[in-house]
Amino acid sequence: MSNHLPFATHVAVAELDREKLVRGLNTTLATALDLHSQVKQAHWNIKGPQFFARHELFERLATRVLTWADELAERTSALGGYAMGTTRLGAAASEISEYDLSAVDGSAHLLTLVERYATFCERLRVRVNEAADADDAATEDLYIEILRAAELDMWFLESHLVPSGTASVTSFAHAASTISNGAISNVGVVNGGGDSATRRRDQH
Classify the C-alpha dihedral 188-191-194-195 as positive or negative. Answer: negative
Nearest residue (CB) to Fe ion, 10 versus 204:
204
Minimum distance from CB of 59 to Fe ion (Å)?
5
Nearest residue (CB) to Fe ion, 18 versus 40:
40
Nearest residue (CB) to Fe ion, 88 versus 204:
204
Minimum distance from CB of 61 to Fe ion (Å)?
12
Residues contacting Fe ion: total by CB under 5 A: 1
The whole-angstrom separation of Cα 71 and Cα 20 is: 17
Angle (CA) 185-187-190 rounded to 5° is: 115
Minimum distance from CB of 43 to Fe ion (Å)?
6
3-state secondary structure of 195: coil
Q: Looking at this protein, which amino acid is placed at residue 53?
A: A
Nearest residue (CB) to Fe ion, 57 versus 103:
57
The whole-angstrom separation of Cα 181 and Cα 53 is: 8
Phi, psi of 120 (to 5 degrees): -60, -45
Q: Contact letters (x/-) for Fe ion, 42-81, by CB under 5 A? A: ----------------------------------------
Minimum distance from CB of 56 to Fe ion (Å)?
9
Minimum distance from CB of 204 to Fe ion (Å)?
5
Q: Which residue's Cβ lies closest to Fe ion?
A: 204
Q: Looking at this protein, which amino acid is placed at residue 69?
A: A
The whole-angstrom separation of Cα 129 and Cα 132 is: 5
Q: Contact letters (x/-) for Fe ion, 114-153, by CB under 5 A? A: ----------------------------------------
Q: Contact letters (x/-) for Fe ion, 175-204, by CB under 5 A? A: -----------------------------x
Residues of 93-116 as b/e, b for ≥16 C-beta within 10 angstroms? bbbbeebbeebeebebbbbbbbeb
Residues of the shown chain interacting with Fe ion in the complex, contacts defined by CB under 5 A: 204
